[in-house]
Structure 1
């Protein structure tokens, strides 16, 4: 069945209005169409969800950088989706949304979850790159780790305890009195939800915070515990902090990646590397922890191999990760920057890069912002203040003319970085005597 959204509802912050078969006359829509038309590229996110009334919805959101270099996010469509959630139907939905908002020529990128139908929709709609949501990926891998039999049993016991306190006002009051006596925070126990990321970890963390009060309350004669309340064992109490320690970095990573105001793709490779190291087996691990690590690695390690180069490029272009310190191999680092340089060379002088970063090193030497990369029709000079390689490029010849490794770099700049004025840039390479000056 064709996934059509005629006469659907358009949602924007503070705005809701109907979209019919013809172009609406709403001012907000016209302004958004104009803004999208000026965008160089647009990224699309698509997700399906179910309302409290059990209606199935699909939301499509556009993300792009406007002329003022501000990241914009706009919901293009939220509508009831009663059709079968097949890849073909979602593909047609995406294509129709792009035609409606006139963004078919924006070299669209796509972000979805890891569902098979979303993957097929991205392939059919020919949106590249198609990045699978990293937070959803982490949730899938963590769920696999928590399904280790021993951990599953522990979580079942935890749920029984939490449910007991949630359903018994008398037990809740007894717990509150015990918290006062033990000078513990007056926090309620947390019940996990299968669709809420990290909620099982939240349940364990809250129980561990309150475990003196919980255990003393369960031993109190004021309440009737039932058989379920005596099921926690000494082994359970030993395992809980070990599971919390193992899974806590996943919660931190998910929080960092759940960002709305800034792009997060540059974080994927560093976080991926950090988690892979964290989940490496260790001889001192509890047997259950070893099993959890293995389950996590089996699900997570192969997830982004199809996008590894792109993720490395994104990290290299992010000032926070530009040194690629999360990679151990210097040759790999050099190759990444060589590939980035080759991509810039392909632009053949048609695009100007005015990329500046705030750097305390630059301020201390020049008291100004230093253009890190500047492209003209003649030359491109790419400079990175790092312990890795610095690359000099001859754009006219389309080839690397020199590659050197240096530990220290001192730079003196003469002239303003304008397109019309040539500037002479002098370098003092402590590790190399050649290429002491380059005329840009």
Structure 2
């Protein structure tokens, strides 16, 4: 046995330590924690709190659901339902934000018509936060599940994907807002720190080296992996 991949449970860490086995941290779990850490910002917390109340307002009102369906047809918007946030999956938070942005015109019109829900209409600040979150997290949506699979080898993806994050997806961009830039940096710093151990680094390099799918340099492998993971 070369190593075991686990989460960060204290019992798992202790068991491997007692047996002197090499432990590789689950990339999907680490990415989830990195993203959750990046979202611990008062601006994001406030906006997400408003959106959850907004979604609830529609969930418990058949009239608002009916009106949303009518306005979707009238405004030629996709006939999609609103999505609620699940605290155990960061992707659900992103999906909720994207859906609200998609349906923002119809949602705002409905909420404004009810004095009890007018306070939930997203303002310019909330829109800026939502767009910043989508810009920072949108490109990462496919990696959590893809690198947590149990039916195929994924350890060889880790090092190229970290390179891809650093050089492309999480690289500072002139179009970044302060918030999106901070979120990118937080995620990248967290992941870099968790995979900087020399023994782990060597293990990940060897895994990529012996994987016949990745025969070129790291950049080529990274681009190939990105296309492979995100293809329909």
Structure number having the greater strand percentage: 1
Cα pair 2:31 2:191 within 8 Å, conserved: yes
Cα pair 1:249 1:275 within 8 Å, conserved: no
Alpha-carbon distance in structure 2 between the residues aligned to 1:188 and 1:269: 37
Match of residue 12, structure 2, among 107, 118, 121: 118
- CA 1:143/1:272 → structure 2, altered by over 3 Å: closer, same or farther? same
Q: Which one has a bigger Cα radius of gyration?
A: 1
Cα pair 1:193 1:199 within 8 Å, conserved: yes
Greater RCO structure (CA 8 Å; 6+ sep): 2
Question: Which residue does 1:226 correspond to in 2?
Answer: 117
CA deviations over 1:73-95 (Å, ceiling 9, x no partner) = xxxxxxxxxxxxxxxxxxxxxxx
Match of residue 297, structure 1, among 169, 188, 209: 188
Query: TM-score, normalised to structure 1's length?
Result: 0.46
| 1:140 equivalent in alignment to 2:33 | yes
Alpha-carbon distance in structure 1 between the residues aligned to 2:119 and 2:213: 50
Correspondence 1:326-365 to 2 at 5 A: 326=219
Alpha-carbon distance in structure 1 between the residues aligned to 2:111 and 2:24: 48
CA deviations over 1:286-330 (Å, ceiling 9, x no partner) = 111222223223322111122111111111222332213328xxx
Alpha-carbon distance in structure 2 between the residues aligned to 1:138 and 1:163: 28
| 1:269 equivalent in alignment to 2:159 | yes
Gaps of 5+ in 1: 1-106, 328-440
Deviation at 1:108, TM superposition (A): 6.2
Alpha-carbon distance in structure 2 between the residues aligned to 1:325 and 1:198: 27
Question: Which residue does 1:235 correspond to in 2?
Answer: 125
Alpha-carbon distance in structure 2 between the residues aligned to 1:113 and 1:271: 19
Cα pair 2:27 2:148 within 8 Å, conserved: no
Alpha-carbon distance in structure 1 between the residues aligned to 2:69 and 2:93: 23
Alpha-carbon distance in structure 2 between the residues aligned to 1:301 and 1:287: 21
Deviation at 1:188, TM superposition (A): 1.1
Query: TM-score, normalised to structure 2's length?
Result: 0.84
Gaps of 5+ in 2: 221-232
SS of the counterpart of 1:190? coil
Alpha-carbon distance in structure 2 between the residues aligned to 1:250 and 1:157: 24
Alpha-carbon distance in structure 2 between the residues aligned to 1:121 and 1:288: 39
Greater shift, 207-216 or 264-273, is seen at: 207-216
Pairs aligned (count): 218
Cα pair 2:83 2:96 within 8 Å, conserved: yes
Correspondence 1:29-68 to 2 at 5 A: none
Alpha-carbon distance in structure 2 between the residues aligned to 1:108 and 1:298: 27
Correspondence 1:187-336 to 2 at 5 A: 187-219=80-112, 221=113, 223-230=114-121, 232-277=122-167, 278-306=169-197, 307-326=200-219
Let me know the Cα RMSD of the aligned residues.
2.2
SS of the counterpart of 1:131? strand
